[in-house]
Amino acid sequence: MQAIRKHGLAAASLALLLAAAPPVSAAPGEQFLPLATYRVGAYASSGIPVWAGMIDYLRYINEVEGGINGVKLVWQECETEWTAEKGIECYERFKNGLNGAPVAVYHPNGAPAAYALSDKAAADRIPLITLGYGRTEATDGSVFPYNFPVMLTFYSEASVVINYIAQREGGFDKLKGKKIATVYHDSAYGRETQGPLKLLAEKYGFENIQIPVADPGNEQSAQWRQVRQAKPDWVFLRTWGVSTPVAIKTAARFGFPVERIIGDIWASSDEDVLPAGDAGKGYLALTPYPGGADFEIHKRLKEHILDQGKSDLKDPKSFGSVYYNSGLVNAAIAVEAIRAGQARFGNRPLTGDEGRWGLEHLRLDEARLEEMGFLGLLQPLELSCSDHEGGGAAKVQQWDGEKWNLITDWVAADRATLRPLIDAKSAEYAREKGVIPRDCRAEQ
């Protein structure tokens, strides 16, 4: 009797597992897009809308557009909890494809995994797309052929914020003597903008104040007391997770005006400002994928995916949120890179090397963005062997207590000023690792 009960329980558990597992069998001729996700753990609230955006767009490509030039997409999830070790496990599971469907591009979806996989993916010849995070020096594709910090690196982000402040102050000459404090997450991510801000401070003559917040950042009185003493004109907030709402609330407590705080790409979502309540009204933030559901792609998704009950979104309120839109943009970059690769290699599933070629020849001009339904949501991009970033612009949005409102068009970074810093870092990396840089001119 006990054995029957035990076997019954095992069978029921297996049935439950099978029922819960998504349909992921791949057929020959399909392209595999691995999804390294974090639906549980400390960062789940940020991740869940991102995966919904990615999956909804991939489903739209399959069901409405019939795949990429007829090549259907198949995807499978693997839980990383935003950790490096699980991120590596997922990568190892996925790198050889799924039932014969190859991997053309890979999203590590998290800075720890991106850093851990950087060399490994290069050895396996699989390109990593790290949109808005990862190594800035990987902009130099001659040294980092398989790393793509597409659209906006942290260096560009720092430059965008200074350019925006200059706009607000009435010109670059007005920056002289101003105080700009960066309150940053004390991690590799947070420290990444120190170099470019030092350079820009020297160029424009503003005082560059750096104040670190140690992880997780749920108590920041000491940091905001320093801000209060320093009396900066602007605060550039480069926090992540819980440290953002805590920073906004603590700033209010210390009397620092919220409309003088500019959040960075990872401090610019609904999830960052909602817990701050009224203290968040007027908060500014940079974003390479603005919030809002009025873009053309949202109309198409609503008609073909959401209204048909096919969306991965559990909470319909998140449709058009910053993180949902970031999922759309991430998926669109992957789809368009594969499309670009197909133009050279034929309309078939691509390998990692072919995916890399596609990424290095990705051209998204306004006409193509309009066709895709992404005009205004995704900036024009042009990647190449020597430029794996390709864009370098962000919009500035402001929180009104209920939603984000865009207050600028694309603000471009001063990439020419920053490029020598990037080249110096990539050259140092090449020396350390013994990498012989590719000749990008020969590959044009």
Widest pairwise Cα distance in the chain: 85
Spatial neighbors of 168 by CB under 8 A, at least 6 apart, are: none
Contact set for another protein, span 239-258 (CB under 8 A): 241-242, 245-246, 249, 252-255
d(CA 407, CA 399): 10
d(CA 148, CA 135): 9
316 belongs to the binding site for another protein (CB under 8 A): no
- Contact indicator for 392, 417 with CB cutoff of 8 Å: no
Q: Which two tokens stand for residue 159?
A: 């430059």
Show the binding pattern over residues 165-194: x = contacts another protein (CB under 8 A), - = does not: ---------------------x--------
Instruction: Kindly state the smallest distance separating residue 404's Cβ from another protein, in Å.
Output: 15
Q: Which residue has tokens 């034929």? A: 346
- Per CB under 8 A, which region of 64-72, 114-122, 136-144, 204-212 contacts another protein? 204-212
Residue type, 182: T
d(CA 363, CA 21): 36
343 belongs to the binding site for another protein (CB under 8 A): no
Quick check: helix, strand or coil at residue 206? coil
Complex with another protein: residue 27 or 42, whichever CB lies closer: 42
Show the binding pattern over residues 211-230: x = contacts another protein (CB under 8 A), - = does not: xxxxxx-xx-xxx-xx-xx-
Q: At what angle do helices 415-433 and 194-204 cross, to 10 degrees?
A: 140
192 φ, ψ (degrees, to nearest 5): -60, -25
Instruction: Kindly state the smallest distance separating residue 275's Cβ from another protein, in Å.
Output: 2
d(CA 136, CA 118): 12
d(CA 292, CA 290): 7
Complex with another protein: residue 279 or 393, whichever CB lies closer: 279
276 belongs to the binding site for another protein (CB under 8 A): yes
Complex with another protein: residue 172 or 184, whichever CB lies closer: 184
Contacting residue, 2, 3, 171, 314, with another protein by CB under 8 A:
314
Q: Transcribe 83-128 into DSSP letters.
A: -HHHHHHHHHHHTT-BTTBPBS-B---SHHHHHHHHHHHHHHT-PE
329 belongs to the binding site for another protein (CB under 8 A): no
Contacting residue, 30, 79, 271, 387, with another protein by CB under 8 A:
271
Complex with another protein: residue 48 or 362, whichever CB lies closer: 48
Q: Which two tokens stand for residue 395?
A: 């919009």
Neighbours of 219 (CB within 10 A): 12
Show the binding pattern over residues 19-48: x = contacts another protein (CB under 8 A), - = does not: --------------------xxxxxxx--x
Residues that contact another protein, how many (by CB under 8 A): 43
- Per CB under 8 A, which region of 92-100, 276-284, 303-311, 433-441 contacts another protein? 276-284
Residues that bind another protein (CB under 8 A): 39-45, 48, 186, 210-216, 218-219, 221-223, 225-226, 228-229, 241-242, 245-246, 249, 252-255, 271, 274-277, 279, 314-315, 318
